[in-house]
Amino acid sequence: MPANLTQQYKKAEENYRRAETPEDELKWLQIMLAEMPKHKGTDHLQAKLKTQISQVKKEAEQQRAGGGKKGSGTAKSFRVPRQGAGTAVIIGGPNAGKSQLLTALTRATPEVAPYPFTTKQPQPGMMAWEDVFVQLIDTPPITSDFLEPYIVGLLRSADLALLMIDLGDDSGIEQCKEVIDKLATTKTRLAAESSLDEEDVGLAFTKTFFLANKMDDPEAEDRLGLFREICPLPFREFKISATLPETLTELRNAVYESLDVVRIYTKDPKKKEADRDRPFTLSRGDTLLDLAELIHKDYAKNLKFGKVWGSAVHDGTVVKGDYILNDQDVIEVHV
Ligand SMILES: Nc1nc2c(ncn2[C@@H]2O[C@H](COP(=O)(O)OP(=O)(O)O)[C@@H](O)[C@H]2O)c(=O)[nH]1
Ligand SMILES: [Mg+2]
């Protein structure tokens, strides 16, 4: 659809795709509609947005009114506050090694056990990558007859899904297929890249890595071959053993790289050194204005200029709000 959508539209779309509540969805859908260029070429898309807006409005109202309604209080919803440079959600069938992976990559201590359904609530942990952290969330198993409803919301708002298969047992093949089939019945699907569906605006896709786990098992390679035949997936694949940390290096790097963020160190103009402890992370392509907004709303409003030390510019270069940030820039924000 060559609609020449603006940068603001694309940002709103990204926020909508990852919205965690109907109120949030509504807000971003309305911005999308306002930002959409109005001409013949976008008629179709405008109509779709309007339909989606009225649908989400109804959902938001129902949710607001739902407090007193019978049954509505039973649907447990777990919201895990976003933290770090981005979020990856670990999913899979029972015993795939989800909790083991979280243990191996973070300091979190979920229960790891050779029996299913040990994990019932989402369990977050922070994975270190150089001087930043990525949030990983361990979840309960998904089977053909059971999917904790909150997992769909977690997947939707996540940057990445990590789909694990148990190659330590023949049953892992069918169990992994069940996960994929089950998610295919929801409005959040796994895909090679994150996007919104072009026809059904309510349908969101989340970028997924396929983790072939327990490769230390002597029959793992055969099972993987069989699975690939039965259920070919377009996702990037990693062969790992969650119990062997040395097999996880490529995955750790790829998870961070998939976030496509840049690290920015801010410097107080009155001080000699930048704050090297805790970089801000922003999406690649973001500008000085985006950084100012992240620091404080008033900073964006009152931004005068920035001074940059980095790989792409001479030391101390003065830049305006539209300066595109580079990884590891040191920036003084002047307001
Ligand atoms: N051999 C082997 N066992 C593993 C591996 N990853 C996990 N396990 C074992 O598989 C069982 C289930 O792991 P767990 O992380 O609790 O699975 P979950 O249900 O997906 O959270 C545990 O006994 C783990 O020690 C692996 O890479 N190799
Ligand atoms: Mg578990």
**Model pLDDT for residues 152-186, shown as the tens digit of each residue:** 999 999 999 999 999 999 999 999 999 999 999 99
| pLDDT above 80 for 78 | no
Query: Is 218 a pocket residue for ligand 1 (Cβ < 6 Å)?
Result: no
Interval 135-142 mean pLDDT = 96
| Residue 5, C-beta contacts closer than 8 angstroms, at least 6 positions apart | 13, 35, 36, 37
- Distance from Cα 108 to the centre of ligand 1, integer Å: 15
Please tell me the predicted confidence (pLDDT) of residue 70.
39
Query: Is 99 a pocket residue for ligand 1 (Cβ < 6 Å)?
Result: yes
The per-residue pLDDT for range 121-132, each reduced to its tens digit, is 899 999 999 999
- Distance from Cα 120 to the centre of ligand 2, integer Å: 8
Neighbours of 8 (CB within 10 A): 12
The per-residue pLDDT for range 181-239, each reduced to its tens digit, is 999 999 999 999 999 888 888 899 999 999 999 999 999 999 999 999 999 999 999 99
Please tell me the predicted confidence (pLDDT) of residue 170.
98
Tokens 């169990």 correspond to what residue? 175
Percent of the chain whose predicted confidence (pLDDT) is above 70 = 94
Domain ranges of the chain: 7-69, 76-259, 261-334
| Range with lowest mean pLDDT among 2-11, 132-141, 326-335 | 2-11
| Range with lowest mean pLDDT among 2-11, 278-287, 289-298 | 2-11
Task: Give the H/E segment covering residue 281.
Answer: strand 280-283
The CATH number, out of the four listed (3.40.50.920, 2.60.120.460, 3.40.50.300, 3.20.20.220), of the domain defined by the range 76-259: 3.40.50.300
| pLDDT above 60 for 299 | yes
Handedness of CA 240, 245, 246, 249 (dihedral sign): positive
Share the mean pLDDT of the chain: 91
Query: Is 155 a pocket residue for ligand 1 (Cβ < 6 Å)?
Result: no
From the list 286, 176, 300, the residue with the least C-alpha distance to 235 is 176
Domain 261-334 has CATH 3.90.228.20: no
pTM for the model: 0.89
Please tell me the predicted confidence (pLDDT) of residue 284.
95
Mutate to test the pocket of ligand 1, among 89, 100, 146 (most ligand atoms within 8 A of CB): 100
Please tell me the predicted confidence (pLDDT) of residue 80.
82
Note whether 76-259 and 261-334 share their fold.
Answer: no
| Residue 103, C-beta contacts closer than 8 angstroms, at least 6 positions apart | 109, 110, 112, 242
Q: 178's torsion region: left (phi>0), alpha (psi -120 to 50) or beta? A: alpha
Mutate to test the pocket of ligand 1, among 91, 101, 112 (most ligand atoms within 8 A of CB): 112
Interval 73-80 mean pLDDT = 55
